[in-house]
Structure 1
Amino acid sequence: MHETLTTEDKAVADTPATTMKAAVVTAPKQVAVQEVNLPEPGAGQVRLRLEGCGLCASNIPVWEGREWFSYPVAAGNPGHEGWGLVDALGEGVTDIRVGDRVAALSYNSYAEFDIADADKVVKLPEALAGKPFPGEPLGCAMNIFRRSDISAGQTVAILGVGFLGGLLVQLAKNAGARVIAISQRDFSLKVAQECGADEIIPMDDHYQIIEKVKGLTNGNFCERVIECTGKEWPLNLAGELTAERGKLIIAGFHQDGMRQVNIQLWNWRGIDVINAHERDPQEYIKGMKEAVAAVAEGTLNPDKLYTHSFTLDNIAQAFHSLTNRPDGFVKALISY
């Protein structure tokens, strides 16, 4: 048996009896909003009535199509940045209540409802009432920042200023570091400045960037370099910008094949290379809890980075914007 939100729970409207709307990627670059069965939570799970879900760049290969994907994908997949209200509890769930507003680590959140394990949801405090909270990427930023070991007085280069890069600029500045932001789009460089970057450099000419950073650091380069693009060229550039015995943090999601890097340079400079993507779900949850505290306290402000909003019915347009990134695009949210 599971507990279900009723009409007496004023926090939420009536729950549909048996079905919900969900986005289904039926083929590469084709998505349909379908009426599907309402999922039921199993033992140790909760069901969420979603308020929204962020779009992640890691969705692009699924949207564009790769030979290793099969279609149609599961309803609501690959949405994994959802938040909303708990509306049903599975058997054995005792520390979460129906009506709690939460962010979740779940995987089918391009839909009105999703299922999450009870130990993979994070309660949102009253201070965040009414605010969007895509917990997974916010938690990811906190985890990457922790792994980066940034402290006051260091010079930190951040390559690629989208949503993740903008958050990391804020976190590095709050830690007392000097931040050099390197990004391709003029708009993203302005975002970096708004987030507190001390220096901005267009990501255009490989060797000119190296010389500019060299000049800004008296030839010493950067104690910390965070690569956020997931592309091969910026990864190689990141190595060039890392100081001797510095740390190169790979935060970008490298998902399309092999990478060639200058191991000789990495070896000669004695740099530490850190792959900062967590795989343990509880590490994600730890980061999400830290993000809740940081946003609630005002030390992290993601609001300025939410630039586009779409409804579930026009999710095809959302995917198009995610792929083509029109001027001004940083982070898109789907609202239900």
Structure 2
Amino acid sequence: MKCIEMLAPRKSHVIEIDDPSINDDQLLVRVTYTGICHSEYYPWATANAGQRFGHEAVGVVEAFGKNVEGFKVGDRVTGLGGGAYKEYIVMSKEKVCHIPDNLDDIDAIVEPLACIMSACIKMKPEAVGETIAVVGCGYMGLGSIALLKTMGYSNIVAVDIRREALENAKRFGATEIYTPDELPLEYRVNWKTMGMPNLTRDGYQRNIFGLGFQNVLEFSGTEEGLKLAAEMVCAHGRLGIGGYHNDGMRTLDFKLLNYKAITMINCHERRIMYEFGLCKRCLDLISRGIWDFKGVTKHIYTMEEFDKANGDMESHADGYIKGAVKCS
């Protein structure tokens, strides 16, 4: 079968490897598409020879072990698993779910949807009608905007450096859109907007509650975006960090964050079975039209175009929001 393998940084090739075998608790899945994830952009850009990527698979059951129940050959499935830029992968029965009949494969790539849902659950509103700001309006930010709208947020302020991303954010439910340069001063809570306080005495003599946002969710994945998101949080507000910051260290003004007494929330998830439960919820909400987030994965690539796909993801070429590799 075919498999994408790295040769060097930013350079891959397609090789032939043996078809995988399964045990009694596994399924053999022919991969139709594997989503391209920005969390693997930096690993791709710095890759060593022999590395393999891909964790957003969707496909068709080709065979299954004797202990697997509820599936049959030909079922369309998705779920959690790695090494997915191949024609065939092995998936554990505990991490596979059916795709609803009314969803196309390309809209049912569920792993990133579960990541979005996990972040939004951690940032759920404390009361209906609250406001939240989302910094970074790529695929993950857009999916969050669409889901947060269903969770009770009445105002969603979107921030991105790209005008095209902001127009997309408006389409998915943002009520206000800004580039960082356009952001009103009252939406920032920093030493300039509130004035340098006497840190030991006048916490209630500054406008630290009337500025900024009680809830800010960051999905930029950049130091600049993270710094801006941190500035936008008001006193005793919440900063959710959903961006995947794997390309180096980040520096934040913790003197400012400490003074504002904010709560920082890591919006990533490492409880695999909890995340798998979210996978099922995601497919249900999207198939029923409650979470309106379909038709965004429009850039489809062959296995031989994997390097181009990563370049397009980084440059946002030709209206890129989300891409996938067609594996069979």
TM-score interval (norm. to shorter): 0.7 to 0.9
| Residue of 228, 237, 240 corresponding to 1:249 | 240
Distance of 1:281 and 1:95 partners within structure 2: 21
TM-score by length of 1: 0.85
3-state SS of paired residue (1:128): coil
Kept in 2, the 8 Å contact 1:41–1:90? The answer is yes
Identify if the C-alpha distance between structure 1 residues 112 and 122 changes in structure 2 by more than 3 Å, giving closer, same or farther.
same
Q: Which runs of 5+ in 1 are unaligned?
A: 1-19
Identify if the C-alpha distance between structure 1 residues 228 and 54 changes in structure 2 by more than 3 Å, giving closer, same or farther.
same
Kept in 1, the 8 Å contact 2:158–2:177? The answer is yes
Distance of 2:55 and 2:186 partners within structure 1: 38
Distance of 1:130 and 1:162 partners within structure 2: 21
Matched, 1:284 2:275: yes
Distance of 1:129 and 1:235 partners within structure 2: 34
Matched, 1:163 2:144: no
| Residue of 39, 49, 57 corresponding to 1:71 | 49
Matched, 1:193 2:160: no
What residue number does 2:159 align with? 182
Superposition RMSD in Å: 2.1
What residue number does 1:135 align with? 110
Larger deviation, residues 117-126 vs 156-165: 117-126
Question: Where does 1:185-224 land on structure 2 (aligned, <5 Å)?
Answer: 185-203=162-180, 205=181, 209=183, 211=185, 213=187, 219-224=210-215
Distance of 1:55 and 1:236 partners within structure 2: 26
Q: How high is the sequence identity, in percent, across the aligned residues? A: 29
Distance of 2:188 and 2:248 partners within structure 1: 31
Instruction: Give the deviation of 1:296 after TM superposition.
Output: 0.7
What residue number does 1:303 align with? 294
Distance of 1:130 and 1:274 partners within structure 2: 32
Kept in 1, the 8 Å contact 2:7–2:48? The answer is no
Letter in 2 for 1:72: G
Identify if the C-alpha distance between structure 1 residues 154 and 292 changes in structure 2 by more than 3 Å, giving closer, same or farther.
same
What residue number does 2:8 align with? 27
TM-score by length of 2: 0.87
Distance of 1:293 and 1:245 partners within structure 2: 35
Distance of 1:103 and 1:110 partners within structure 2: 14
3-state SS of paired residue (1:157): strand
Identify if the C-alpha distance between structure 1 residues 145 and 105 changes in structure 2 by more than 3 Å, giving closer, same or farther.
same
Kept in 2, the 8 Å contact 1:224–1:246? The answer is yes
Distance of 1:248 and 1:43 partners within structure 2: 44
Q: Which runs of 5+ in 2 are unaligned?
A: 190-207
Matched, 1:45 2:26: yes
Instruction: Give the deviation of 1:80 after TM superposition.
Output: 0.6
